[in-house]
Chain A
Amino acid sequence: MDTPNKSQCAIDVQNLTVGYGSNILMQNLNFTVNYGEIFVILGGSGCGKSSLLKNLFGLYQPLSGDVLIEGQNITTAAGAERQKIMTSFGVMYQQGALFGSMNLLDNVTLFMQEYTQLTQGQMDLLARCKLDLVGLLPYESYMPSEISGGMQKRAAIARAMALDPKILFLDEPSAGLDPITSADLDSTIQDLSKNLGITFIIVSHELASIYAIADKVIMLDKGAQGIIAEGDPKVLRDTSKDPRVHQFFNRIMSKDAA
Chain B
Amino acid sequence: MSNSATISAVSDAPVAVWSQVDANNAKVLMSGNVNVYSLGGIWTQIRDSQDVWLKQGDGKSKSLTFDAGKVTFLDGAGIAFLIGIEEAQTTAGAKFDVVGLDPRYEPLLSEFNPIGNLFPVPVVKPKRSFVVSTGMAAQNLIDDAIGLITFTGHLASDLAWSIRYPNQVRWGDFVNAAVQAGIAALPIVGLVAFLIGVILSFQAAIGMQQFGAVSFVGPLAALGIVREMGPLITAILLAGRSSAAFAAEIGTMTVNSEVDALVSGGLSPIRFLVVPRVLAGILVAPILTLFADIVSIFSSMLTMLIYGIPFINFYNGMLSAVDIEDISSGLIKATLFGVVISAVGCLRGMQTGNGAAAVGISATRAVVSSIVLIVLVDGIFAFISYKTGF
A and B bind:
yes
List A residues at the B interface (Cβ < 8 Å). 1-3, 100-101, 112, 115-119, 122, 125-126, 128-130, 132-133, 137, 140-141, 143-146, 161, 163-164, 188, 191-192, 194-196
Q: Are B355 and A144 in contact (CB under 8 A)?
A: yes
Within the complex, what minimum Cβ distance (angstroms) separates A166 from chain B?
A: 9
Q: Which residue of B lies closest to A162 (CB)?
A: B36
- Residues in B with CB closer than 8 Å to A133 are 111
- Residues in B with CB closer than 8 Å to A188 are 111
Within the complex, what minimum Cβ distance (angstroms) separates B45 from chain A?
A: 11
In angstroms, Cα B38 to Cα A1, docked, is 10
Q: Are B111 and A116 in contact (CB under 8 A)?
A: no
Partner of B118, one of A100, A101, A118, A137: A137
A196 and B108 in contact, given A112-B36, A122-B80, A129-B80 (Cβ under 8 angstroms): yes
Q: Which of B35, B77, B117, B358 has its CB near the most chain A CB atoms (within 10 A)?
A: B77
Q: Which residue of A lies closest to B35 (CB)?
A: A1
In angstroms, Cα B122 to Cα A12, docked, is 46
Q: Are A137 and B117 in contact (CB under 8 A)?
A: yes
Q: Are A145 and B354 in contact (CB under 8 A)?
A: yes
A122 and B75 in contact, given A100-B355, A129-B118 (Cβ under 8 angstroms): no
Within the complex, what minimum Cβ distance (angstroms) separates B199 from chain A?
A: 40
Q: Are B40 and A129 in contact (CB under 8 A)?
A: no
Q: Which residue of B lies closest to A126 (CB)?
A: B80
Q: Are B355 and A143 in contact (CB under 8 A)?
A: yes
Within the complex, what minimum Cβ distance (angstroms) separates B358 from chain A?
A: 8
| Known contacts A3-B73, A119-B43, A164-B77; 7 further A-B pairs (Cβ under 8 A) | A100-B356, A115-B37, A118-B40, A137-B118, A141-B123, A145-B355, A188-B111
Partner of B76, one of A119, A141, A146, A196: A196
- Encoded as 1 (CB less than 8 Å from any A CB) or 0, chain B from 28 to 62 comes to 00000101111111011000000000000000000
List B residues at the A interface (Cβ < 8 Å). 12, 33, 35-41, 43-44, 72-73, 75-77, 79-81, 83-84, 104-105, 107-108, 111-112, 117-120, 123, 353-358
In angstroms, Cα B112 to Cα A196, docked, is 16
Partner of A122, one of B43, B76, B355: B43
A145 and B353 in contact, given A125-B84, A164-B75, A196-B76 (Cβ under 8 angstroms): yes
In angstroms, Cα B42 to Cα A118, docked, is 9
In angstroms, Cα B37 to Cα A116, docked, is 5
**Can you offer 16 A-B residue contacts whose CB atoms are under 8 A?**
A1-B73, A2-B33, A101-B357, A116-B37, A116-B39, A122-B44, A122-B84, A125-B80, A125-B84, A129-B80, A132-B112, A132-B117, A145-B355, A195-B104, A195-B105, A196-B108
In angstroms, Cα B322 to Cα A27, docked, is 72
Q: Which of A3, A117, A143 has its CB near the most chain B CB atoms (within 10 A)?
A: A117
- Residues in A with CB closer than 8 Å to B83 are 125, 129
- Residues in A with CB closer than 8 Å to B77 are 116, 118, 126, 164
Q: Are B40 and A117 in contact (CB under 8 A)?
A: yes
Q: Are A194 and B37 in contact (CB under 8 A)?
A: no
Partner of B107, one of A100, A112, A122, A191: A191
Q: Are A117 and B41 in contact (CB under 8 A)?
A: yes
Within the complex, what minimum Cβ distance (angstroms) separates B153 from chain A?
A: 29
In angstroms, Cα B83 to Cα A161, docked, is 18
Q: Are B75 and A128 in contact (CB under 8 A)?
A: no
Q: Are A191 and B80 in contact (CB under 8 A)?
A: no
In angstroms, Cα B44 to Cα A122, docked, is 8
Q: What 9 A-B pairs are tightest by C-beta distance, nearest first?
A: A117-B40, A100-B355, A145-B354, A164-B75, A126-B80, A101-B357, A164-B76, A195-B104, A145-B355
Partner of B111, one of A115, A161, A191: A191
- Residues in A with CB closer than 8 Å to B44 are 119, 122
Q: Which of A2, A115, A116 has its CB near the most chain B CB atoms (within 10 A)?
A: A116
Partner of A164, one of B35, B112, B120, B357: B35
Q: Are A128 and B76 in contact (CB under 8 A)?
A: no
- Residues in B with CB closer than 8 Å to A115 are 36-37
In angstroms, Cα B109 to Cα A129, docked, is 10
- Residues in A with CB closer than 8 Å to B73 are 1, 3
Within the complex, what minimum Cβ distance (angstroms) separates A38 from chain B?
A: 16
Q: Are B104 and A194 in contact (CB under 8 A)?
A: yes
Q: Are B72 and A3 in contact (CB under 8 A)?
A: yes
- Residues in B with CB closer than 8 Å to A100 are 354-358
Q: Which residue of B lies closest to A163 (CB)?
A: B36
Q: Are B356 and A130 in contact (CB under 8 A)?
A: no
In angstroms, Cα B358 to Cα A171, docked, is 26
